[in-house]
Each structure stands twice: as C-alpha cells, then as structure tokens.
C-alpha cells in the first residue's frame, strides 16, 4: 500500500510518497523531473551498499544515467568542510541548473545535499529519498537544510524545498533498533505538540511501529508527514506555527553540543530528552499538569529512549553553559530564550522571552551544575 501526502506551497507544491519498494520504482516515478536524463546520487558509505545499486538500476531502466557521490557517514560530515567537499565534487560532475540531485540517506545526507543544492550555481533541484525513520518523518519534508558549526547545530543553512520525497519503508528493515528509536522520538513529537489522538494511538501501537509492522509503520509515517505538511503549508519559513516542530529541540541541541554532536547522543535521543525537559519545565511553570508531564515521559521511556541527561558522558554540565548553547540556538531571538512549551499533551505553544533565571533554576533541579 502507498500513501501520498502533498505539501501545498504556492507554485512549489510537491508529493511525499510513502510505501514499500519505492526505490525500485524511482526511475518511473522521477523520470519526469529529469529532462536531461542524468542525475547524481548523493549518499554515504553506510547507505550506498544497501540501496544505491537498486536506485541506480531503476534509473537506468528508465534511461537515466546516474553518477554517484559517496560521503563519510556521521554528523561530522554535516560541516563547512563537508559542504565544501560535496560542492566541489558536484562541480566536477559539471551539473547545470536544470539537473537534479537525489539525496539518498538519513538526515545528514538530506541536510547536506539539500543545502548544497540550494547554493550550487544559485540553486538546483533536489529529490529527497530518506532511508531512516527520523528522516522520513522529519528532515526530508519541509525544505530546511543546514550544516553544523562549532557554535551550534544547524546554524548555517537555507530553506530549499525538494521537488519530491520518496519515503521507502523497505529501507527501515536494515536500521539498527537504536536508529528506529531515534526516529520514533520525532514521531511521538507530532502527537505531543498537536495531535492528542495520534499520541493515544502511539501509546497503544508504539511497539508495533518499532517492530516495523507494515500497517503500523505506514500509519505512523503518513500521519507524521501529514502533520508536518500542514504546518509547513501554513508557515514555510518558521515565522509562527512551524516553530512548534522544535518541541524538545532547544534543550536537546544544548545536550548535543555538550556531547560533541556524535555517537554518544544522537539527534533523536537528544530530542526525546529535550521533550521530557520541555514538559517538566512547562509543569514547573504551571503551564501543564504534572500528570501530563509524567505521561509524556512514560511514553518516551516505553520506546526505550532516555528521559534525562544523567547517563550522558561528562554529566552534570554547567547550567550556564547549557544556557549559552540555548542562546546560540536558532530559536533564540534578540538574546532572549524562546522555547516550545506545552499546556497539555497535544497542545504545544511558543513561549518567547523566557527568563534565563527560570531556566537556570530548572536545569539545576535536573541535576546541572550551578
């Protein structure tokens, strides 16, 4: 079964196709976007042996020639150096502005290839073919592309919408369980921020999603993409409602910065901890009930995700250093902290100008150093 979700943008709408076997059908599905019958597949050394061959074969059957650029896997590739290297390799292939890049991989590949497409010869098209659960429900949809810097995550980037997204659920069968849990953190985020019935469904069906049961997985991915597509259509450039998608991210990005954006704490794991912290902070400020904060934490813990920073290397971190990371985060405006907080499960809101002293007190209660 295949589901199609349209991201509706004036003059730039595109389809997110969700189903199984899509990579093997890519040539037929994408041929109309490739008038020169040539493309380049940007992938990484982990994904290439798993899926790049099948994608190349499908394109060749449709008469499309595909070059291949293979990146080193890992968050460290999403950097100035990684962007320069990818841009140079694309230039060496002599792509022109009518060509299309195919981003085959997880969030790192999608972000880096998308950003490179945004700036290559002032912009060429990209198709996202996400191969992780996290990328399928989040980073491949909506056009946000970026690299990391020593000062923070995703601080340099561009909005560059894809021409299409192919979310092939078959690719998830090869994912380690840790990667599935990371993606599930972003799935449950949609329930927590604005879809209480979906959260209720996940409480009952989360184990089926994590186990890769086809019907549960299709529903979870499709519902997540529908939620994101609706928000992106309302607020493409994060001037309002789209900021809600950052639930858990400002706390989470601070923890990622402390752990070096590496394997010690993956992005989905950081978001999971960050969402728990956001609900706890909301409860501490009286915005939501302690019962809802506890229920959100239980649902995240039930997926096998950490709900606190206590097990992270080097913990406890200084509260003021975490606050510095949060202030540098892209959700900060005018030096004041902007956080996504909650009034209840399924009801998040943007809290602007949050007092730093309140955050410091909360972080100390969480165990950070004063």
Catalytic residue among 163, 181, 219, 253: 253
Provide the pLDDT for residue 334: 58
- Tracing tokens 């599935």 back to the chain, one arrives at 180
Note the pLDDT tens digit of each residue in 97-129: 899 999 999 999 999 999 999 999 999 999 999
Is 186 designated active site? yes
Catalytic residue among 160, 189, 223, 228: 228
Is 242 designated active site? yes
Q: What is the mean pLDDT of residues 159-168?
A: 97
Give the CATH superfamily of 179-366: Dehydroquinate synthase-like - alpha domain (1.20.1090.10)
Is 228 designated active site? yes
Residue 333 confidence (pLDDT) above 70: no
Is 219 designated active site? no
Q: CATH: 3.40.50.150, 3.40.50.1970, 2.30.40.10, 3.30.360.10. Which one for 3-174? A: 3.40.50.1970
Q: What is the mean pLDDT of residues 319-332?
A: 82
Query: Distance between CA 115 and CA 158 in Å, rounded?
Result: 6
Provide the pLDDT for residue 147: 96
Provide the pLDDT for residue 152: 80
Is 331 designated active site? no
Residue 335 confidence (pLDDT) above 80: no
Residue 194 confidence (pLDDT) above 70: yes
Domain boundary assignment for the chain: 3-174, 179-366
Query: Distance between CA 2 and CA 129 in Å, rounded?
Result: 15
Bridge partner list, 67: 40
Note the pLDDT tens digit of each residue in 130-156: 999 999 999 999 999 999 988 888 889
Is 236 designated active site? no
DSSP reduced 3-state for 212: coil
């Amino acid at each position: 079964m295949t589901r199609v979700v349209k991201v509706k943008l004036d003059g730039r709408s595109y389809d997110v196709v969700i189903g199984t076997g899509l990579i093997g059908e890519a040539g037929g599905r994408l041929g109309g976007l490739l008038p020169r019958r040539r493309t380049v597949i940007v992938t990484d050394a982990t994904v290439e042996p798993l899926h790049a061959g099948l994608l190349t074969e499908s394109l060749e059957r449709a008469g499309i020639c595909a070059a291949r650029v293979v990146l080193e896997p890992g968050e460290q590739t999403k950097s100035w150096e990684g962007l320069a290297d990818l841009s140079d390799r694309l230039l060496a292939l002599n792509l022109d502005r009518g060509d299309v890049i195919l981003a085959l991989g997880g969030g790192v590949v999608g972000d880096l290839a998308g950003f490179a497409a945004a700036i290559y010869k002032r912009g060429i098209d990209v198709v996202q073919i996400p191969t992780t659960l996290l990328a399928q429900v989040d980073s491949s949809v909506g056009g946000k592309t970026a690299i990391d810097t020593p000062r923070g995550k995703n601080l340099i980037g561009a909005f560059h919408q894809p021409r299409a997204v192919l979310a092939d659920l078959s690719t998830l069968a090869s994912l380690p369980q840790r990667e599935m849990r990371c993606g599930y953190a972003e799935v449950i985020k949609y329930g927590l921020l604005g879809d209480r019935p979906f959260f209720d469904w996940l409480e009952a069906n989360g184990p089926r999603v994590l186990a890769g049961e086809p019907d549960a997985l299709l529903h979870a991915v499709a519902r997540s993409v529908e939620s994101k597509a609706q928000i992106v259509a309302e607020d493409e450039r994060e001037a309002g409602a789209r900021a809600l998608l950052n639930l858990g991210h400002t706390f989470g990005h601070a923890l990622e910065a402390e752990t070096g954006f590496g394997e010690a704490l993956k992005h989905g794991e950081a978001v999971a901890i960050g969402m728990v912290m956001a609900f706890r902070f909301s409860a501490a400020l009286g915005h939501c009930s302690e019962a809802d904060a506890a229920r959100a934490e239980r649902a995240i813990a039930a997926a096998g995700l950490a709900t606190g920073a206590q097990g992270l290397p080097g913990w406890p971190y200084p509260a003021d250093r975490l606050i510095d990371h949060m202030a540098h985060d892209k959700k900060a405006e005018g030096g004041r902290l902007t956080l996504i907080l909650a009034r209840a499960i399924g009801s998040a809101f943007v809290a602007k100008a949050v007092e730093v002293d309140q955050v410091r007190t909360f972080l100390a209660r969480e165990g950070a150093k004063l």
